[in-house]
């Protein structure tokens, strides 16, 4: 019989029977002490009525049980050390006669390693990445050989001169680490599934929130349209135009969304203007013009109280500023005017001239573009006008038609991205 393994014997669950115990974590990663009972795998074996296990001693797998779960050890085939290894493993364990269904840890002997060298370990690792390998080497093995084995991910290296004392513990450590790693992988996979589930729920909640935002915007725009019927769909058109012009000059998607919302609600401040002035059919008096000129600041005040519309304040506040500084309410000029407000001023001028009003007829696209070019350097940003004019009439007509049915930023983006030739 081989020498002692260093494992202390302890009483098993069978009265009057003692067996060695070894701490081996099950696949659930819960560690506990339990007797390990190995078996040498071969043809399916059976257990007699007196419960004494039977198995053949054919080469193949040795298995043990931890909490009812089998652990299979693949022995080196046709190795001079095979019988010695079996003797070592039989001492702390008892055979059960169960056939192995897989391998939990593999033992590679010196004979196998001499045939192929450390590259054998690489081949085994690639073929069975979940199975740790314990390598047996003679004490005469060089440090380079030991290093090469570890570089090829050997779980343990055991010298044959210390086989009886070191091999059982090396197998234990290899299986323990492998099961711990597998448990961590299973935990990571479970967490990934859980995170995926939560991400989907978060996306659904975000969609609902965006839907609520869109409903809020629609309600505010409807409130404007209810007062100025002749400008129906004007807000939707200029919002879509603003998105396209912003895309052409490289505005980011997030800034485009703020631009869209600000353009959609550019005249929200008119809610605070009395109907007698806002809807007056005739010419406004100077005092009435002063009241009208307050609507940008009123609009900024309204939107500033709504958290998700905070970034959209620039357009309502500055859409009446002029490139030459003659605008209101703050008299800003050139690049001091926020880019979003400069973009809006261009598309708002275009839509106003292209739309029919009680006091004027709609103008053709080409005539409107010429008027806008004449206004460059005065009310409008010259570079933005050039970019706007480079788009064909069909582009703006298509967006105008789409604006009749679209009422969200996502719909406006789709309409802009679907433009022919883009």
Q: Does domain 216-417 have CATH number 3.40.50.720?
A: no
CATH-assigned architecture of domain 9-46+53-182: 3-Layer(aba) Sandwich (3.40)
- CA gap 259, 343 in Å, rounded: 9
Tokens, residue 140: 């005469």
pTM reported for the whole predicted model: 0.55
- CA gap 100, 97 in Å, rounded: 9
Domain definitions of the chain by residue range: 9-46+53-182, 216-417
**pLDDT at 229 (0 to 100):** 58
Q: Which helix (H) or strand (E) holds 335?
A: none
**pLDDT at 226 (0 to 100):** 66
- CA gap 23, 216 in Å, rounded: 63
- Strand duo 105-108 + 33-35: pairing: unpaired
> What secondary structure does DSSP assign to 354-415, as a single string?
HS-BTTBPPPPHHHHHHHHHHTBTTTB-HHHHHHHHTS-HHHHHHHHHHTTT--SHHHHHHH
β-sheet bridge partners, residue 224: none
Residues 6+ apart with CB under 8 A from 112: 76, 77, 79, 120
Tens-binned pLDDT, residue by residue, of the chain (422 aa): 343 333 333 333 333 333 333 333 333 332 323 333 333 333 222 222 222 232 322 334 455 544 445 567 787 767 788 788 888 776 444 444 444 445 678 888 888 888 788 888 998 888 888 889 999 999 888 899 999 999 999 999 999 998 888 888 888 888 888 888 888 888 888 888 888 888 888 888 877 877 777 777 777 777 776 666 555 688 889 999 999 999 999 999 889 999 999 998 898 888 888 888 888 877 888 898 999 999 999 989 888 888 778 888 999 999 999 999 999 999 999 999 999 999 999 999 999 999 877 677 889 999 999 999 998 989 999 999 999 999 999 999 888 888 877 678 888 888 888 755 44
- CA gap 107, 328 in Å, rounded: 85
**Sheet bearing 39-40, strands edge to edge:** 39-40, 61-66, 69-74, 105-108, 133-137, 156-159
CA distances from 123 to 76, 120, 128, 144, 182 (A): 15, 5, 8, 19, 20
Q: In angstroms, how far apart are the furthest CA atoms of the chain?
A: 116
**pLDDT at 19 (0 to 100):** 35
**pLDDT at 227 (0 to 100):** 66
Q: Which of 174, 160, 206 is nearest to 103 (CA)?
A: 174
Q: Which long-range contacts (CB under 8 A, 24 or more apart) does 112-117 make?
A: 112/76, 112/77, 112/79, 113/137, 113/149, 117/148
The DSSP output letter for 76 is: P
Do the Cβ atoms of 53 and 45 come closer than 8 Å? yes
**pLDDT at 54 (0 to 100):** 27
């Amino acid at each position: 019989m081989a020498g002692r393994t260093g494992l202390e014997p302890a009483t098993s669950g069978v009265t009057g029977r003692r067996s060695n115990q070894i701490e081996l974590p099950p696949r659930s990663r819960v560690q506990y002490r339990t007797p390990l009972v190995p078996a040498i795998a071969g043809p399916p074996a059976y257990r007699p009525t007196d419960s004494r296990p039977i198995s053949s001693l054919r080469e193949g797998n040795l298995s043990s049980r931890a909490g009812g779960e089998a652990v299979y050890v693949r022995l080196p085939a046709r190795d001079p050390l095979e019988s010695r290894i079996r003797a070592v493993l039989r001492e702390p364990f008892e055979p059960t006669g169960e056939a192995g269904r897989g391998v939990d840890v593999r033992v590679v002997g010196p004979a196998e390693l001499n045939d192929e060298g450390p590259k054998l370990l690489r081949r085994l690792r690639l073929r069975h990445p979940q199975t740790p390998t314990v390598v047996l080497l003679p004490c005469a093995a060089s440090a380079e050989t030991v290093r090469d084995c570890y570089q090829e991910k050997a779980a343990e290296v055991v010298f044959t001169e210390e086989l009886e004392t070191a091999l059982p513990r090396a197998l234990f450590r290899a299986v323990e680490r492998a099961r711990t790693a597998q448990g961590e992988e299973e935990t990571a996979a479970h967490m990934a599934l859980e995170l995926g589930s939560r991400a989907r729920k978060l996306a659904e909640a975000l969609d609902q929130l965006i839907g609520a935002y869109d409903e809020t915007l629609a309600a505010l725009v409807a409130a404007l349209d209810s007062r100025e019927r002749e400008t129906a769909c004007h807000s939707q058109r200029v919002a879509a135009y603003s998105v396209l012009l912003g895309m052409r000059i490289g505005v980011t998607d997030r800034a485009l969304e703020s631009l869209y919302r600000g353009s959609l609600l550019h005249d929200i401040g008119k809610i605070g203007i009395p109907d007698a002035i806002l809807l007056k059919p005739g010419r406004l008096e100077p005092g009435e013009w002063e009241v009208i000129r307050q609507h940008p600041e009123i609009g900024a005040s309204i939107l500033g109280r709504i958290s998700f519309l905070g970034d959209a304040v620039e357009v309502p506040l500055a859409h009446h500023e002029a490139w030459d500084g003659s605008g209101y309410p703050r008299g800003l000029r050139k690049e001091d005017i926020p880019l979003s407000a400069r973009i809006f001023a261009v598309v708002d001028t275009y839509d106003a001239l292209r739309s029919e009003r009680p006091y004027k007829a709609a103008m053709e696209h080409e005539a409107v573009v010429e008027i806008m070019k004449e206004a460059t350097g005065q009310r409008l940003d010259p570079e933005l006008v050039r970019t706007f004019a480079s788009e064909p009439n069909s582009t703006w007509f298509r967006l105008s038609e789409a604006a009749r049915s679209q009422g969200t930023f996502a719909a406006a983006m789709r309409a802009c991205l679907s433009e022919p030739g883009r």
